Amino acid sequence: MSVAGRAVTRKVATQLFISKRTVDAHLRTIFQRLGVTSRRQLEDHPGLR
């Protein structure tokens, strides 16, 4: 399961035993580091293939 693969935040949080807010915080950090602004852009990012 991956967020780039369109997994829902709640599902990711449940599977990892963390809160939705923690998932969101990590996503913000990842987006910033990769220079993307959406999950769609994350899905298409060449460094993640």
Question: Tokens in use for 32?
Answer: 């910033």
Angle (nearest 5°) at CA 16 between 40 and 22: 65
pLDDT by 10s per residue, the chain, length 49: 667 666 889 999 999 999 999 999 999 999 999 999 988 888 888 877 6
Residue type, position 39, single letter: R
Measure Cα distances from 41 to 12, 13, 31, 36, 44 in Å: 19, 21, 9, 6, 5
pTM of the model: 0.77
Is the separation of the CB atoms in 25 and 17 below 8 Å? Answer: no
- Domain spans of the chain, in order of start: 9-48
